[in-house]
Each structure stands twice: as structure tokens, then as C-alpha cells.
Amino acid sequence: MKVLVADDDPGSLLVARAAVERPGHECLVASDGDSAWEMFQRHAPQAVVTDLMMPGMDGLELCRAIRAHGRDAYTYVIVLTSLDAEEDVLAGLRAGADDYVAKPLDPFVLHSRLLVAQRVTSLHAQLARYRAVLSEQARTDPLTGLPNRLKLTEDLEALHERAERYGQTYALAMCDVDNFKGYNDTYGHPAGDRVLQEVAAALAGSSRRADGVYRFGGEEFLLVLPNQTWVGAEAAAQRARTAVEDLAIEHSGGPAGVVTVSAGVAAFTDGHRPDLDTMLAAADKALYAAKAGGRNRVVLSS
């Protein structure tokens, strides 16, 4: 564990350093609050042991700054107080400290507090990993492994905002598996699920690294194409359509005898900068035109 000790008393600093390093922790030392704050930001220690009275930023200010810093990892803070300083203890806890150790410093007491700090910070790290996994699962379609509608909403809003702010372009291609209900009726739902997985992989494989492929819902997928014009977006949608047709998955009810997709394209370009809802509606309308025109084709929005 990495531990930062902040104290302007050389004797206390020496005792604290020995107590930290003896069980194998890495020790960083600062002799004033300003240096301690700078070292905290640079080294991100798991625990901080700080005196309350120091030159520059005092211990209470350091506690508040640590709690307001917004780090993902939790920092366990121990304040050093005098034996009879009950008000200092309460002030430190109110400022965000987790525990306190009375001066003169007892190495065994500090060692025991650091064991607690290590346990607490490890639990916080484990919880952070669980939260990250749950957040990822909440944004991933379980069948295809693609980002889902929630992730799409977040990414698309950010992309649209950047495009508006910086004058960038982007395009959307709404893709739909042709006659998918008929496929399920003929080959069964398990086979339909496998088709969706293979179509998802084909769409992702035909896209640029900067593009996004999302499960929009049911048998619909959305390609998000940053920095694309109409020409580039149409080419990207055609690559996606061809990639699915080239899978050659038998579909007796399909327009080509195999599983295919239709796509509708809308673009956010110079001279045509609609809002996000209008973009999605335009791509969806173009998709329906592709369906009406015989399927297995790409149609650009008017």
C-alpha cells in the first residue's frame, strides 16, 4: 500500500515513516500541507496520515481537498492529534478523515490503523470493479455482445454535441434484417438468435475502428459513423449490407435466398444539421423506403 505522511515535526515524521515502512508499505513524506496536496495528486496514495497543524494547507484543508478530489479509488485518511484534543478529532472526522491517532505517535497504533486502511481500501477497490462490470453489462446487449440502446443514447448524444460545437459531420445507418419474422417462423427462434449474432459480428467486422455498431432493438442495428459525408456513409452501409449477404445463411423467404439486411442512411453535414431525433427519424424513414423498394439495399434519406 502507498502511504503519504504529512507532518512538519521531523521527529514524528521519522517515527511515522518507520511505522509505515516496517510492514512493507511504500512511504511518501511531506513536511507541509501544500507539498502533501501536490504529492497526493501526483502519486495517488491509498492512505494519508496527516497532522492537523502544518504550514500552508493545514490538515483539515487537506482532508477536504482529498474528499473533493473525485478520485475513483478511495483514500483512507488518518489524522494525528494531541492526546486531549477531542475537538480536533471531531473536526478531522467532519472534514473527511476516517480515523485518528494521538501524539506522541505510537508505531504499533499506527501500524494497526494502517491494517484497517488496507482492508477498507481493498474493499472499495473491489466494489469499484463490481460497479464497472455492472455498468458495462447494463450497456451491453447480452445476445450479440454489441453496445445496447442505453450505450447508444450516451454515445450518440456526445457525438451530436461535438458535431454541433466543432462543425463536424457524422452519419447514421439504420439496418434491419430482412423478413426476420419469417426466418424465425421457418427455422425457429434459436436459429434466429444465431442469425442475429452472426449479423452483429458481420456489421462490426465491416466497420472502421472509429465507427460504432449498436443493437437498436429486435432485428434492428444502428451504425454510427463519425466524420462521414453522404458518400462515405453510403459506402459504409453498402459494405455492411454486403458483409451480411456474404455470410450466405440460407433463408428461403429472403430476397436473395439468404439472410440480408436493408439500410437507411441519414447524415449530419454542412448545410444539413438537424437535431438528433430528426436524424434518427430520417434514417428510419429511409430504411422503410429500402424495405418497400425490394429489401437488401441501401437508401439515402431525402
| DSSP string of the chain, one letter each residue | -EEEEE-S-HHHHHHHHHHHHTTT-EEEEESSHHHHHHHHHHH--SEEEEESS-SSS-HHHHHHHHHHS--SS--EEEEEEETT-HHHHHHHHHHT--EEEEESPPHHHHHHHHHHHHHHHHHHHHHHHHHHHHHHHHTB-TTT-SB-HHHHHHHHHHHHHHHHHHT--EEEEEEEETTHHHHHHHH-HHHHHHHHHHHHHHHHHTS-TT-EEEEEETTEEEEEEET--HHHHHHHHHHHHHHHHTT--B-TTSTTSB--EEEEEEEEBTTB---HHHHHHHHHHHHHHHHHTTSSSEEE--
Backbone φ and ψ of 86, nearest 5°: -65, -40
Q: Which letter, b or e, does each residue of 60-72 get, where b requires 16 or more Cβ atoms within 10 Å of its Cβ?
A: bbbbebbeeeeee
> Per the residue annotation, which of 21, 164, 219, 250 is the catalytic one?
219
User: In whole angstroms, what separates CA 177 from the centre of its chain?
Assistant: 30
The C-alpha cell that represents 100 in the structure block: 485518528
The whole-angstrom separation of Cα 219 and Cα 200 is 10
245 is known as an active-site residue? no
The C-alpha cell that represents 17 in the structure block: 515513516
The whole-angstrom separation of Cα 120 and Cα 20 is 17
Residues marked active site are found at 219
